[in-house]
Amino acid sequence: MAAAAADPGYYVVTAYDNAGVAAADFRYWTVRPPGEPTAIWPEAGFCYGVSSRWYTEVFASWIGASDQATRLSSWNWQNEFLLTQGESPFDLAVHAMLVRDADRGTWEIEYGPVLQTDVGRTQLNANVFFDRGLSSANSDRPARMKYQWQVKYRWKRLLNVGAQGFGELGPWNDWWPQAQRSHRAGPAAFGTWDMPGGHAILYQAAWLWGSVYGSRASMFSMRLQYTF
């Protein structure tokens, strides 16, 4: 499966104060190379705003395909730590995610800066992440570099519109040849549906075109969060 190395999923990390808010998190994304079976990654987890500066989530990721059964792929512990909260032109957070590969039994860590700013009603995000192995079987390779960005126009609470992009460049100190890198971008929609009792459903969806590790492919992602 060409996109297997992309696991876990692609969702733009944002910097925000969500203190005291808990949510069930459901994600689903696919990669579709031309003429090949569609790869699918359903994910589910629980997230919580521990404080105004610390967001944490534990989730499981499964992997499958349109012609294969779905199986557990990884366990993931994601954390965001806000370093600024409005005192500068942009907000800065640190992203750190620990990944346990369910097949190989290895550990990896993904980490890097999260940048966010607002221009009027438009929110801009740009992140650069690195991932490297922590187990004896994968710790000898250099950290790999990836990026993600997002533009979101706050039109209405129920519907915001924008775009997202993702890419993988290879080892941080020796990028892959251009033909092997990944670059995808496309339109995205976001929104919040308020419910009785102070609960809410947050959603986002995106359709991206481009390449996945040098191969042409399209990607669909969807995320639902139920806050309580």
Cα 23 to Cα 45: distance, rounded to the nearest angstrom: 9
H/E run at residue 215: strand 215-227
- Tokens 């969806």 sit on residue: 205
Predicted local distance difference test score (pLDDT) of residue 9 = 58
pLDDT above 90: residue 174: yes
Structure tokens at 200: 């809410």
Domains and CATH numbers, the chain: 22-227 (2.40.230.20)
The pTM (predicted TM-score) of the whole model is 0.92
Structure tokens at 205: 């969806």
Predicted local distance difference test score (pLDDT) of residue 1 = 41
Say what percent of the chain tops pLDDT 70.
Answer: 96
Cα 220 to Cα 208: distance, rounded to the nearest angstrom: 6
Q: Which of 107-116, 134-143, 185-194, 215-224 has the lowest mean pLDDT?
A: 134-143
Cα 18 to Cα 187: distance, rounded to the nearest angstrom: 26
pLDDT digits (tens, 9 = 90+) for 67-96: 889 999 999 999 999 999 888 889 999 999
